Structure 1
């Protein structure tokens, strides 16, 4: 019987027949669409045998290549499967396989061939080819992604200029904050940060930036423009010139500045294990939003809008939008909403309304997904902590 013959061949291969017999057995199983058995046998082959089989398949008919691709996928030889897919006309599928194998450069090139420039750019960025990513993002007109690449390339003034064009002052400040005292344009960066922070209402923080620069750089201490800016900021805070001598001691006890959201964002449990650089990159994804009193912040049953972190004002959480809906909670600065919508496509479970005017940070799901795509280590930490926190919530509800 044909079935018995095939079984004996496979059994013989597994019992240690010659390499040619094993290769023929795999190819026979592929022809018979016995994908799972073929995958198991492929896993038992030596590295040289597997390479030989892939080379033979690459020169064979398209049907055989397609069959072996599925076998390799089942055996988790994603790189081998991707290389067999090259030239098949399905570059997008090859790109996905390259990603699964961790070969982001090859994935990016495959996505370019498939015409998906956006995913190609993200793969270049993820693979560390930042100049290539920047080039593709520029072609797409994706200025925000360009700015993020420029930050990673340490082209901080270029990044800051783009963030200014995009109307994102907090990201502009973050980019300029990476300029070191050794940079010839350090003074320019400090003064620009101070003016930005002051305009945004963070005069206290602007003064702290200036004082830190004066303490860390001899060049800064000898720059007249820095002294002038320090005096201006002190006047803005209602402090006279004589207070300059004791400013360093008074910084810790002076009025608390308006929160800029970074520390609130950092305090969210699913971000608690991010490195400083990953946390800064995430903060640059946030956008400030202002909501009027009595406006709807989140509407029950509607798709989530992403993460919202409250900076100023108060919101009320209700069981629904009805006038007689039960009030569940009231939240103020530092509270956050919608973190589940960052990773799960689920409707909003409560109705949230602004009791007062509200200023908040928002990270959309699209921006967050791009962040995860380009920050692999951070993504793993976030998903693990998200799963843990979700499990803890379920346990709390069940007790």
Structure 2
């Protein structure tokens, strides 16, 4: 009969229930384990009615709440479901529901209660609660994640010290690059950057950093340490004193050598829409690796482990690991391997072996997953571009 709780309008597929009986009808359908009908009716309720139902359900025994929680989950009211379950001892499930609803601070607290500290820290980061995230990472001893938080908190020297301990010179340079000229330790930062860049073979870039620092203020130009360092680098390059001014003018405008890896990483299509800050955060995740001639970078058929960006040297790509495998390609500086494994769980499709000694940037899959968890806007852009590129490949194969 029309108007009865649970009744169906002919051909409409809708449950025709008077508003005053809707709450009772949902509860009744839940008790009868008619979850699909209860979900449909819950979705058709107004916001005020749904809130009232959740409020009343919160006062009921756990067993009764469980049925309604399943209804809310199917209706994609993840926040309502999380709040109904909160306090029932299923903190990991509650945390996932809070995360699905975008309530990352509540998710983080629930993950902590569930003993999932690493996921809690990532949720704190995503919520912008960087100090809380830093505390959790510190307790975990996760120094790389601590350094990322410190950079985002505007504490570059502390971040740089951690990167120094980790032996990640390029990340230390990026962290110290955030020190402003008005900072009392600015000269110290510039000198450290210069030393690191020069030791990595980027003397021109070190000179550019020094030139920029010397032009930033009268105080910087008066610093003997900066002048001494500039002179050291010029002597190292075998340049005459009278060429100093020209060299500095050129180095001020010179781009950083592509071989530092940043520009290569930035050029990868799936990173093409990342903001400067997100791109810098991603670059700090990368680690420089040296691969001996003949060593295997990627083994066909094994799970993908992450991205390699070649900076120096070359690699050979073969159809398989066999001695008589077909040679498919040779790749060199600026080219990359394994980017699909960052966003898709699939086996490696070819055998890749170092032809010469190779210097590369490597981003592991686990580090990249953490990056996606803590950089929501970047994750959306990366997945969109990955999907577009994949669709383009499919179209190319089908034409």
Normalised by the length of structure 2, the TM-score is: 0.95
2:272 counterpart residue number:
272
Correspondence 1:2-21 to 2 at 5 A: 8-11=4-7, 14-15=15-16, 17-19=18-20, 21=21
Q: Which runs of 5+ in 2 are unaligned?
A: 9-13
Secondary structure of the corresponding residue to residue 281 of structure 2? helix
Calculate the aligned-residue CA RMSD, in Å. 1.9
Q: Please report how far the alpha carbon of residue 10 of structure 1 lies from its aligned counterpart in structure 2 after TM superposition.
A: 2.3
Residue 108 of structure 1 is matched in structure 2 by: 108
The aligned runs of 1:205-216 (5 Å cut-off) are: 205-216=205-216
Kept in 2, the 8 Å contact 1:297–1:352? The answer is yes
Q: Report if aligned partners of 2:301, 2:347 keep a CA contact under 8 Å in 1.
A: yes
Question: Which position in structure 1 is the counterpart of 2:11?
Answer: none
Report the equivalent of 2:311.
311
Give the conservation status (yes or no) of the 8 Å contact 1:261–1:309.
Answer: yes
2:77 aligns with 77
- Written as runs of structure 1 = structure 2, the 5 A alignment for 1:221-232 is 221-232=221-232
1:376 alignment counterpart: 376
Using the TM superposition, give the Cα deviation of residue 181 of structure 1 relative to its aligned residue in structure 2, in angstroms. Answer: 0.9
Partner in structure 2 of residue 363 of structure 1: 363
- Report the 3-state secondary structure (helix = DSSP H, G, I; strand = E; otherwise coil) of the residue aligned with 1:316: strand
Matching residue of 1:144 = 144
Q: Secondary structure at the match of 1:33?
A: coil
How far the C-alpha of 1:323 sits from its partner, in A, is 1.4
Q: TM-score, normalised by structure 1?
A: 0.95
Rate the CA distance shift 1:258–1:40 in 2: closer, same or farther, 3 A: closer
> 2:306 touches 2:364 (CA, 8 Å); kept in 1?
yes
Q: Note if contact 1:201-1:258 (Cα within 8 Å) is conserved in structure 2.
A: no
Tell me the residue number matched to 1:240. Answer: 240
Task: Tell me, yes or no, if the aligned pair for 1:14 and 1:22 is still in contact at 8 Å.
Answer: no
- Residue 250 of structure 1, CA deviation: 3.2
Q: Which structure 1 residue ranges, 5 or more long, are not aligned?
A: none
Deviation at 1:220, TM superposition (A): 1.2
Match of 2:294 in 1: 294
Indicate if the aligned counterparts of 2:4 and 2:17 stay in contact, CA closer than 8 A.
no
Instruction: Give matches, 1:25-174, under 5 Å.
Output: 25-174=25-174
Q: Per-residue CA shift, 1:234-292, capped at 9, x if unaligned?
A: 11122122222112443389898471100000000000000000000000110101011
Aligned counterparts of 1:253 and 1:29: Cα–Cα separation in 2? 71
CA distance in 2, matches of 1:249, 1:214: 12
Distance of 1:250 and 1:147 partners within structure 2:
33
SS across alignment from 1:8:
coil
